[in-house]
Amino acid sequence: MVFAALIVAFALQSASGVVLRAGDVRSLITRHGAAGALSLLFQDDSKWDAVLEGVATGPPEWLSIAADLRSVSDAHATETLVMAIQEALPKSPRGVLRLVTHGPFTATDACGMYGFGQIEDERPVTLLLGLVDRRIAAVSHVDALELATARQACLQELRILRRDVQGHN
């Protein structure tokens, strides 16, 4: 079971069939800097999708890559990285809250929405509330003292989000 999780954490195949490992992306960042790596990855939709899918799984290697890329991203790249971090939140609440504590993501970035599909989302409100509740439960269980401020800020964002989603019912 642990071995299978490691394989998923290090190598992901995007919907388009591109296999991208966290180590491959880390090497790109080392060779070209974060801005150069972002440019190379973002210009190929299948590679960028594989990066986002990797980040969304939540392992530390991918979250570290997200932080590096976010520090140099803007516009659509930032928007999609934020959604990937939101997807990672229920899977790795400690890891995501560390990104909020140390930057470059804010509590609003990580906890202000519910991940992929949020733009013009037409899924049932009950499903969306379930996504928010799953995030609230995951963050509520984080008891690390060094993450307490980020945890509280995240929970506040999630409660606001829950209220807003409920209001669209």
pLDDT in tens, 53-103: 999 999 999 999 999 999 999 999 999 999 999 999 999 999 999 999 998
Which tokens is 130 given? 């379930």
User: What is the pTM for the complete model shown?
Assistant: 0.88
Q: How far apart are alpha carbons 79 and 7 in whole angstroms?
A: 27
Q: Measured between alpha carbons, how far is 96 from 87 in angstroms, rounded to an integer?
A: 10
Which of residues 91 and 18 earns the better pLDDT score? 91
Domain boundary residue among 70, 88, 106?
Answer: 88
User: Which of 88, 115, 146 is the C-terminal boundary of a domain?
Assistant: 88
Q: What is the pLDDT of residues 123-146, one digit of tens each?
A: 899 999 999 999 999 999 999 999
Question: Which range, of 3-17, 37-51, 58-72, 84-98, averages the lowest pLDDT?
Answer: 3-17
81 in Cβ contact with 52 (< 8 Å): yes
pLDDT at 118: 72
Q: Are residues 74 and 122 in the same domain?
A: no
Residues present in the chain in total: 169
93: nearest Cα among 58, 118, 128, 69 = 58
Cα(123)–Cα(88) distance, integer angstroms: 20
97: containing domain? 90-169
Count of the separate structural domains present in the chain: 2
Residues 62 and 50 in one domain: yes
